[in-house]
């Protein structure tokens, strides 16, 4: 224990000495995360020659800082202009954007930054202390358990549908149908591709994300002069730090909310292939289900913004656990880190922390230091970033469409993806104008194919026996938790209404 503490102290000061790497990388990560289509993974790939030419310590610090900052950066356009930078921030606009529309963009950004930094910092410390235990989570989470985890996220459709049951369910099922396009998992038979080879791998996520949120939002906002109301613009006319401090205070006052939602992100991040999009949807759904004021979600509620932001930043430390302990990357960025570390001759497994403790502990320490630096450097910028909402839409809408269409092109470099983004934009615009929730459609597009894959795997392993879904002890516990998360809020809601009725009488 004493040796480990000494190593951690040494690694901390060594990491702090690389501030000249961390600070510029943080700002690069914010830009990368804020542009739909770009991510830490493809940016590191582009900069791979530079990364490989660095020393191992500098290269790892660079990649970790970029990873953390891009995760935070994805929430900035999600809040200000309703455009998630990555799929991991897809749940952020549900409450972040209504805050920005009400002229509370500065406050929303402050809440997001504090929740992201504290959630990421907390889960980094927890991951560092419980690595052996967390590493085993991946062994116990098989297809049956993952089905239930998917259903936690998909049940968010039901929460959205609570406002208009029919339209919410139609939007959700439409998303699930769109998500089924492509070749099926078992027989590789094309479904709904209309002969387009570009759709054989399924609906590409970035064009769907860009179209449903960004392009459709650009079509909507061009119909008015500003994103925010004139009253909100007048309130923002005098710049001050009050809203930043108020937002930070709101986030800190809900510290327990940050804790448990970030831990959801950590656990889901440990599962290879799960990712930040699942974590953010599950965290938002759980936050809303057990809230005393679920009716406020979707209207600009602080807890509705805290949940997805703390969860998707909790994923970052989770993806490192299976990478370092088992040599299994938890996500795309972790896979690239694996390549770089193998190039430098790093061996993975439990022996890593004995043979090269500064490498193993150094990655977590780089993550912790990056979040500390971000909290100190990015939080003050919320005052200036929020001014984006005051730009007239006649200039803002064309910029949004231009940047996002480029973002749709980048991942696969197909012109087809740009046309697909425009098609989703038209679909999203029609949905918005007719009262259907685009978030419900996107949940189906993202989680539908994953649910189908794990469901078919389960049936294939059990020779078609549907009861395999209840064959796992862990899965059964998760089933019970899922049912409780759906039923208990209804019960609590009735109790609160009965109490209110008794008080009024």
List the chain domain ranges. Answer: 2-504
CA angle 240, 99, 223 (to 5 degrees): 105
pLDDT, residue 99, reads 92
pLDDT, residue 424, reads 94
pLDDT, residue 459, reads 86
Q: Take residue 437 and report the two structure tokens written for it.
A: 């929730």
Q: Take residue 225 and report the two structure tokens written for it.
A: 């002069």
pLDDT, residue 95, reads 93
Q: Take residue 43 and report the two structure tokens written for it.
A: 């940016």
pLDDT, residue 121, reads 94
pLDDT, residue 264, reads 93
The answer to whether residues 171 and 156 touch, using CB atoms and an 8 Å cutoff, is no
pLDDT, residue 309, reads 95
Q: N- to C-terminal Cα distance for the chain?
A: 62
Low-confidence residues in the chain, pLDDT < 50: none
- Parallel, antiparallel, or unpaired: how do β-strands 190-191 and 182-183 relate? antiparallel
E-assigned strands of 222-271?
Answer: none
Helices H / strands E in the chain, number of each: 28, 2
Residues near 247 by beta carbon (within 8 Å), at least 6 away in sequence? 106, 107, 108, 109, 110, 111, 114, 382
pLDDT, residue 2, reads 56
What SS3 class is residue 102?
Answer: coil
The conformation of residue 212, written as its DSSP 8-state character, comes to I
Tell me the pTM: 0.87
SS3 content of the chain, % helix, strand, coil (to 5): 75, 0, 20
Question: Of 339, 332, 314, which is closest to residue 60 (Cα–Cα)?
Answer: 339
pLDDT for 395-450, tens place per residue?
888 888 888 888 888 888 889 999 999 999 999 999 999 988 888 888 888 888 88
The conformation of residue 378, written as its DSSP 8-state character, comes to T
What SS3 class is residue 182?
Answer: strand
CA angle 45, 47, 49 (to 5 degrees): 100
């Amino acid at each position: 224990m004493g040796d480990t503490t000494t190593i951690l102290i040494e690694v901390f000061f060594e990491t702090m000495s690389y501030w000249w790497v961390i600070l510029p990388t943080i700002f690069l990560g914010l830009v990368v995360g804020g542009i739909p289509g770009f991510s830490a993974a493809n940016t590191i790939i582009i900069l791979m020659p530079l990364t490989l030419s660095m020393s191992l310590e500098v290269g790892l610090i660079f990649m970790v800082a970029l990873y953390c900052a891009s995760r935070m950066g994805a929430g900035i356009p999600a809040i200000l202009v309703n455009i998630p930078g990555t799929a991991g921030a897809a749940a952020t606009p549900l409450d972040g954007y209504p805050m920005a529309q009400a002229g509370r963009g500065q406050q929303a950004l402050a809440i997001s930054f504090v929740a992201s930094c504290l959630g990421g910092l907390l889960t980094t410390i927890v991951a560092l202390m419980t690595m052996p235990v967390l590493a085993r989570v991946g062994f116990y989470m098989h297809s049956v358990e993952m089905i239930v985890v998917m259903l936690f996220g998909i049940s968010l459709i039901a929460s959205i549908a609570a406002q208009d049951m029919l339209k919410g369910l139609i939007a959700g099922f439409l998303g699930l149908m769109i998500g089924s396009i492509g070749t099926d998992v078992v027989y590789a038979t094309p479904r709904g591709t209309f002969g387009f080879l570009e759709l054989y791998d399924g609906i590409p996520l970035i064009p769907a994300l860009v179209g449903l949120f960004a392009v459709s939002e650009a079509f909507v906002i061009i119909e008015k002069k500003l994103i925010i109301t004139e009253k909100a613009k007048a309130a923002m006319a005098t710049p001050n730090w009050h809203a930043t401090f108020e937002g930070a205070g709101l986030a800190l006052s809900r510290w327990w909310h940050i804790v448990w939602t970030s831990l959801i992100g950590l656990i889901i991040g440990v599962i290879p292939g799960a990712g930040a999009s699942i974590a953010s949807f599950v965290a938002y759904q759980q936050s809303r289900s057990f809230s005393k004021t679920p009716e406020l979600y979707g209207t600009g509620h602080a807890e509705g913004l805290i949940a997805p932001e703390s969860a998707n930043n909790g994923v970052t430390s989770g993806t490192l656990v299976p990478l370092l302990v088992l040599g299994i990357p938890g996500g795309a960025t972790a896979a690239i880190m694996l390549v770089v570390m193998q190039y430098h001759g790093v061996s993975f497994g439990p022996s890593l922390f004995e043979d090269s403790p500064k490498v193993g502990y150094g990655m977590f320490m780089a993550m912790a230091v990056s979040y500390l630096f971000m909290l100190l450097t990015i939080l003050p910028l919320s005052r200036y970033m929020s001014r984006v909402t005051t730009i007239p839409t006649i200039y803002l809408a064309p910029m949004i469409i231009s940047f996002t269409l480029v973002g749709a092109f980048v991942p696969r470099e197909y012109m087809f993806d740009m046309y697909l983004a425009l098609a989703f934009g038209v679909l999203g615009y029609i949905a918005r104008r007719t009262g259907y929730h685009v978030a419900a459609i996107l949940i189906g597009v993202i989680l539908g194919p994953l649910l189908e894959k794990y469901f078919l795997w389960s049936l294939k392993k059990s020779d078609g026996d549907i009861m395999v879904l209840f064959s796992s002890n862990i899965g059964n516990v998760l089933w019970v938790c899922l049912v409780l998360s759906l039923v208990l809020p209804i019960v609590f809601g009735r109790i609160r209404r009965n109490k209110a009725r008794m008080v009024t009488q």
